[in-house]
Amino acid sequence: MNVDGLGFWGAVIAMAAITYLTRALPFMLSERSRLLRHLSREGSALAALGPSLLAGIAAAVIVPDLLAAGEQAATIGPYVGGLVVTAVAARLVSNAGVAVLLGMAGYGVLLALAA
């Protein structure tokens, strides 16, 4: 991963700002706020925001490494295995955070076995 470029630091700052806003916004709005009622309503269109952010961050981290590893088929195995573990865990557990943690653990185990 290239950490020298301006794009990397822009992505880090954008992720930090989005994470801060998703955590702080409910505390910054009053209880009578229409926006807060809309955001907290069950079935809201923004209910998928958390998992979407996780998927976006994962794609931004995984895709460049996969493109670089495309020349060596053996190095792609841990990525594919981690993604499969994440997908299965997301389906079984119905918790995006736990699914990501299990996927990272699966990736780590497969990476250790490949080395």
Please give the Cα distance from 54 to 82 (Å, whole number): 14
pTM (whole model) above 0.85:
no
Give alpha helix (H) positions in the chain.
6-28, 34-40, 49-69, 77-93, 96-114
Please give the Cα distance from 20 to 16 (Å, whole number): 6
Q: Give me the average pLDDT of each 10-residue run along the chain (115 residues).
A: 67 82 77 72 70 77 73 74 91 86 89 81
